[in-house]
Amino acid sequence: MLEDILVPTDGREGMGRVTDHALALAELCDATLHVLYVVDETAYGSVPDDARERVRDTLADDGRSATKAVAERAYEMGVSVTQELRWGDPAVAIVAYVVENDIDQVVMGTRGKTGFERYLLGSVAEKVVRVSPVPVVTIHTGDQEELEEELAELVGT
């Protein structure tokens, strides 16, 4: 039985589907939902020194807002929830959180990048899936219309 479920969030609009799934699973299993936001420190590495603190504060505020939004939904549903903000490489921070908190399952979004774009940018979800010691459910968060077109091509309709 699942007791602790992690949902890493980056606050994107498409995260609603991921959050819905994680909340439903947590409610069904009477599990605690852990909401994690990781500020990717490389995202502001090229920011001039005089603006760095402001950017850092803004990123932290974005993270707190993203986790709070999920936590509020969990509270409304009666789901036990914890929130955390971390700094560093997102994939590493997610897996570290899994290990440190005895997480049973991860539910996370993926944009579904393919080909050169994925090779060039990498994928946090892909990295987590490869090294996670627990099951990882990935949910597409990209453009729904684009996903439906790809699916239609795949099944030949």
Q: Output the pTM of the full model.
A: 0.85
pLDDT per residue as tens digits for the range 105-115: 999 998 755 55
Going from N- to C-terminal start, the domains of the chain cover 4-155
Structural contact between residues 87 and 39, judged by C-beta atoms closer than 8 angstroms? yes
Give the model's pLDDT for residue 111.
72
pLDDT per residue over 74-87, tens digit each? Answer: 999 999 999 999 99
Q: What is the pLDDT of residue 113?
A: 54
Query: Does domain 4-155 fall into CATH 3.40.50.620?
Result: yes
Which residues 6+ apart lie within 8 Å of 138 measured at CB?
A: 108, 109, 110, 125, 129
The pLDDT confidence band at residue 123, using thresholds 50, 70 and 90, is confident
> What's residue 12's pLDDT?
82
Q: What is the rounded average pLDDT for all residues in the chain?
A: 87
